[in-house]
Structure 1
Amino acid sequence: MRLGRLSAVVAVAAVTLGVVSVPTATAGGPSGRFDRPRSGFAPASTVLRAGSPESVGLDPAALLVAEQRIDAWTRPGASGHPLLSGAVGVHIHDGVVVNTHVVGGAVRYADGSGTELPPERQVPMREDTIFDMASVSKLFTSIVVLQLVERGKVRLDKPVRDYLPEFGVNGKEPITVQQLLTHTSGLEPFLYLWRDWPDKAARIKAVMDVKPKYVPGSTYEYSDLNLITLGVLAERLTGSPLDVLVRTGITEPLRMSDTGYNPPEEKLPRVAATEFMTVPDRGMVRGQVHDENAWSLGGVAGHAGVFSTAADMSVLGQAVLNGGSYRGARILRPDTVRKMLTNYNQAFPGDSHGLGFELDQLWYMGGLTSPDSAGHTGYTGTSLVIDPKSRSIAILLTNRVHPSRNWGTIQPAREVWANGLARALAVRPARGHDAWFSEIGNLSAATLTSGPLATGGRSARVEFAAFADSEPTDTLVLESSPDGVAWQPVPLRASGRGAPDGEVTALSGTGHRAWWRVRAELPATERLYVRWRYATDRLYTGRGMIVDAIKIREGRNTLLDSERDPEALRAEGWRLRSR
């Protein structure tokens, strides 16, 4: 565990990346707060620097929990093998790298069956390990295209055929540049280019000739073909290969010295291995792109092929938070970054997407999810989450396909890593010193129950504050009972930013980051029990649920006041926290 300082590789890169030590929180704005969302970009002068979690108001214990979960997944589980060979993770808040975690092996296995290499032949993960970023490469292609938009060479609303005439066939004539960037073109997810076409020229032609699977603009369908097409478009308009465009437009200005396509031989010792492939017959893949189609295109393609490190990806993330610049180098204008992080897919709920960047995806953004949160994942086991509301970045790079893509899904690890940073950020109690907090996992329930309340047969009123950050199917319900055995839901009314309209029986929500004021009328009985029940389904949780400032009154009589008497509540799955 490395909390509060950058590790050796990042420290060595300090001159290049502009990393300096700083002991105190960033001036201006509520550093370390989850419940005080920011607006706008971070100052363009923000440069990554080392610091402890405490220096920016974070709780180091939450980061440690995330580390421990990642570590556990590098050890064999019930399946007999680990979920991850190894990982490098980074947490950043307000420009401060508060956590860099390294675990497991960059090269661990000899074959696709999982035969471990002798210890002396294994290569451990390092902070400067270079990873195949897989589909995170799409972000680089998208930025290149947006740079062409800024230069007036491309318009987002123009048909792609205006720039690539050969693309405008077989029903693709109306597809626009924006539809490629937002995966609403209607193209199918992929073609077996490496298998079904003999050479690069034939493979590119196959993409140009393909028929849409859906009517363009009618649905969301994530497709590698969209970004392959955009890569070709950028090359055609500029006369330069895509790898040169990425280098001159992004990685050189940002001094991302370990980021690019087809890593040179001298960097091979730092490259993480990916899969042992038999079809096609490639053996243990290391230093070449894992994606078969990108490999068949020479390692440089719009949808895959970029290799990078956690330190370099940190710089790219901070450049986005800064509005398109880092250490005086501007790769995009602020207005372009705003457009890049705007949701163009409101017609397709659940598939929010900016220009290249995915938005508002709880399944890997975890508690950092909001309508403004941006990022991308890669099939090899990589993920980048950028949270403008808290000016935070969570990066998890793994080689989860080493030695086999069939060993399991990386999704739980991605969510856990993002949740660690979200839970390290503070939510101050609505009133008093502490509040009831629950961060139960999947398929769990937590209850907060009162003792018997004597109402004299008259109705009572309850007021409380709620802070909800979990998926819509993970709900907080208020229930009442005359005997503490049979429970019935109580209708609620909530107010506050992001609160549900009208009367509801359950509270849930993600991304609003605000306390809600909740009121309800309790049924008239001689004796009354009240409980708050938070229940989760089998997938995905956010930062968690918080309840505070509970008051139950009958007329002028106060029957329960959680601020004065927290012991009046029996907690199962809840705990009192001051942040």
Structure 2
Amino acid sequence: MAEVQGTCEGRFAGVREALARELDGDELGASVAVDLDGETVVDIWGGYRDEARTTPWTQDTITNVWSTTKCVLNLAALMLVERGELDLDAPVGDYWPEFCANGKKDVLVRHVMSHTSGVSGWEQPFSVKDMYDWPSATERLAAQRPWWEPGTASGYHAANQGFLVGEVIRRITNETFRRFVRQEIAGPLGADFQVGAKERDWGRIAPLVAPPRAEPTGEIDPDSIAVRTFTAPTMSVKATTSPEWRAADLGALNGHSNARGVLDVLRVLSLGGSAGGVRLLSEETIEQVFRQQSDGVDLVLEAPFTWGIGFCLGSPVVPYVPAGRTFFWGGWGGSLAVMDLDRRLTITYMMNRMAPGLIGNARAEAYVRAVYAAL
């Protein structure tokens, strides 16, 4: 059986065994971490950074965590709510006046945080490289019309939520999201998490391995919300290894970390707002996450999702996250973060070999089920 490094409390031995099994199967390199009631009870890793299996995944290995970054983005917005600087029920235009153009004056802050704003992507043409220009990318979002009536349905803001929420953060704080994370979140918490990646850290990055190409089934409607969202821009795994990607401020896409780094940030949400002696939120502010904003088939993901403010509250696509006072999200290919407030439990999983699908995978399911089996 594959070798697994790190620490794991005895009763969570099943999690270590699950990682070992998956490393003998489809997993290439991965890390899994669990915090229970303020203690890190699982912090394990194994496998390889590279597809040739020449460089082991080590304790300090990091990778691009795709949309798991959104969990930190929405945490940052909640911190401004906590400080009284951001009102979830206020129009986005109160903070970003230009955004009111073309029928968006009634788009609220909670809409952009819950994927219900009607602005789930950019108008064509728009490429990955266009995201590297923050002023231009945000100006284009401010100028366009919503693709559906804001607040009436969700449509996953796959690539642009980092710009929608990030620009609100920038207007309030006069700081980029990237700097806000470094100064206000990762720094105080001592977490190995960054938006993008500094050049000095490139040597410890495990490049992502793209999932098998899925052949489309049925007819594709080029005018559908899903196609318009996922083709403006069309995501590229190869782009994540470029200096431009690593230097960019992509609050929905280019967080770099591992399971322990993400855990050290997000356990704040499961523990009532503070961790390691650092308080970022009150319990009252965390409760805002549970304000349901939509419940039905997401126009972009084309499957049922229940969205609260900033996080997913449940979906049959991810049935292994239990119901109750839990919320979660993750990244393309399978990375996942689960926050369970009733149990004061946080589970994180980051990996480099991507699986098909936008959220969760069979490997993530194995680890989450093993954690809950141990409780």
Aligned equivalents of 1:408, 1:353: Cα separation in 2: 16
Structure 1 residue corresponding to 2:19, chosen from 62, 67, 73: 67
CA gap 1:285/1:153 in 2 versus in 1, 3 angstroms? closer
Cα deviation, residue 225, structure 1: 2.7
Structure 1 equivalent of residue 50 of structure 2: 107
How many residues end up aligned between the 2 structures?
A: 343
CA displacement 1:494-531 (0-9 Å, x = unmatched): xxxxxxxxxxxxxxxxxxxxxxxxxxxxxxxxxxxxxx
State the match for 2:67 in structure 1.
Answer: 135
How far 1:213 sits from its partner (Å)? 1.2
Provide the rounded CA distance (Å) in 2 between the counterparts of 1:247 and 1:358.
25
**What residue identity is the alignment partner of 1:175?**
V
Superposition pairs for residues 151-190 of structure 1, below 5 Å? 151-189=83-121
Amino acid at match of 2:22: I
The equivalent of 1:52 in structure 2 is 9
Encode CA deviations 1:434-465: one digit per residue, 9 max, x unaligned. xxxxxxxxxxxxxxxxxxxxxxxxxxxxxxxx
Q: Is the 8 A contact 1:362 1:369 kept in 2?
A: no
Runs ≥4 residues deviating over 6 A: 279-282, 405-409
Counterpart residue identity of residue 399, structure 1: N
Q: 1:149-548 to 2 correspondence within 5 Å? A: 149-189=81-121, 192-194=126-128, 199-223=133-157, 224-256=159-191, 258-274=192-208, 285-286=240-241, 295=245, 298-340=247-289, 342-345=290-293, 347-348=295-296, 350-361=304-315, 363-364=317-318, 366=320, 368-401=321-354, 411-425=361-375
Offset, 1:324: 1.0
The answer to whether residue 56 in structure 2 is matched with residue 89 in structure 1 is: no
Distance 1:407 1:361 in 2: 14
Q: Cα distance 1:240–1:395, how it changes in 2: closer, same or farther (>3 A)?
A: same
Q: Distance in 1 between matches of 2:359 and 2:113?
A: 26
Summarize the Cα distance change of 1:196–1:261 in structure 2 as closer, same or farther, 3 Å threshold. Answer: closer
Which ranges of structure 2 fall in alignment gaps of 5 or more residues?
A: 211-233, 298-303
CA distance in 1 between counterparts of 2:314 and 2:295 reads 14
Counterpart AA for 1:204:
T
- 2: CA distance, partners of 1:412 / 1:137: 21
CA contact (8 A) 1:133 1:380 kept: no
TM-score (norm 1): 0.54
Contact 1:364–1:418 (Cα < 8 Å) also in 2: no
Aligned CA-pair RMSD: 3.2
2-structure distance, mates of 1:219, 1:280: 24
SS in 2 for 1:123: coil
Contact 1:51 1:96 in 2 (8 A): no
Match of 2:301 in 1: none
The structure with the larger Rg is: 1
AA aligned to 2:156 is Y
Q: Matched residues in 1 for 2:239 and 2:97: separation?
A: 39
- Distance in structure 1 (CA, Å) of the matches to 2:270 and 2:236: 42
Q: For the structure 1 residues 345 and 2, does the alpha-carbon distance in structure 2 shift closer, same or farther, using more than 3 Å as the test?
A: farther
Could you tell me how far 1:325 is from its partner in structure 2?
0.8
Residues 67-108 of structure 1 show CA distances to partners (whole Å, capped at 9, x for unaligned) of 24422433xxxxxxxxx4321122343444343332322122
Aligned amino acid, residue 73 of structure 1:
G
CA 1:228–1:365: 2 relative to 1, 3 Å? farther
> SS state of the match for residue 253, structure 1?
helix
TM-score, normalized by length of structure 2? Answer: 0.80
Letter in 2 for 1:99: V
Higher strand proportion, which one? 1
- Say if 1:134 and 1:304, in contact at 8 Å, map to a contact too: yes
| Alpha-carbon distance, 1:222 to partner | 0.9
CA distance in 2 between partners of 1:197 and 1:399 (Å): 23
Q: Distance in 1 between matches of 2:359 and 2:67?
A: 16
Gap change, CA 1:167 and 1:104, over 3 Å in 2:
same
Tell me how far apart the structure 1 counterparts of residues 309 and 359 of structure 2 sit (CA, whole Å). Answer: 26
Q: Which has the higher contact order (CA 8 A, sep 6+)?
A: 2
Structure 1 unmatched ranges of 5 or more: 8-49, 75-83, 109-115, 290-294, 426-579
SS at match of 1:70: helix
Q: Deviations over 1:210-259 (max 9, x none)?
A: 22111011111111334411101111222111111112221111111x21
| Counterpart code for 2:128 | W
> 2:215 — aligned with what?
none
In the alignment, is residue 126 of structure 1 matched against residue 58 of structure 2? yes
CA distance in 1, matches of 2:357, 2:252: 24
Counterpart in the other structure of 2:226? none
Instruction: For residue 317 of structure 1, report the CA deviation from its aligned partner.
Output: 3.1
Question: What's the CA shift for 1:206?
Answer: 1.4
Q: 1:409 to 1:147 in 2, by over 3 A?
A: closer
Question: What SS does the aligned partner of 1:147 have?
Answer: helix
The question of whether the paired residues in 2 share the 8 Å contact of 1:128 and 1:311 is answered with no
Distance in 2 of aligned mates of 1:407 and 1:147: 31
Give the Cα separation in 2 of the matches to 1:412 and 1:372.
23
Alpha-carbon distance, 1:175 to partner: 0.5
**Is the Cα–Cα contact under 8 Å of residues 90 and 396 in structure 1 kept in the other structure?**
yes
State whether residues 153 and 294 of structure 2, in contact with CA within 8 Å, keep that contact through their aligned partners in structure 1.
no
Task: Name the CA distance, whole Å, in 2 between partners of 1:149 and 1:316.
Answer: 18
Identify if the C-alpha distance between structure 1 residues 127 and 389 changes in structure 2 by more than 3 Å, giving closer, same or farther. Answer: same
Distance 2:70 2:201 in 1: 23
CA displacement, residues 402-435 of structure 1 (integer Å, 9 cap, x when unaligned): xxx879986111212111112222xxxxxxxxxx
After superposition, the Cα gap between the structure-2 partners of 1:269 and 1:173, relative to the gap in structure 1 and judged at 3 Å, is same
Contact 1:193 1:203 (8 Å CA) reproduced: no
Do the aligned partners of 1:360 and 1:372 also contact (CA within 8 Å) in 2?
no
- Aligned partners of 1:326 and 1:198: how far apart in 2? 33
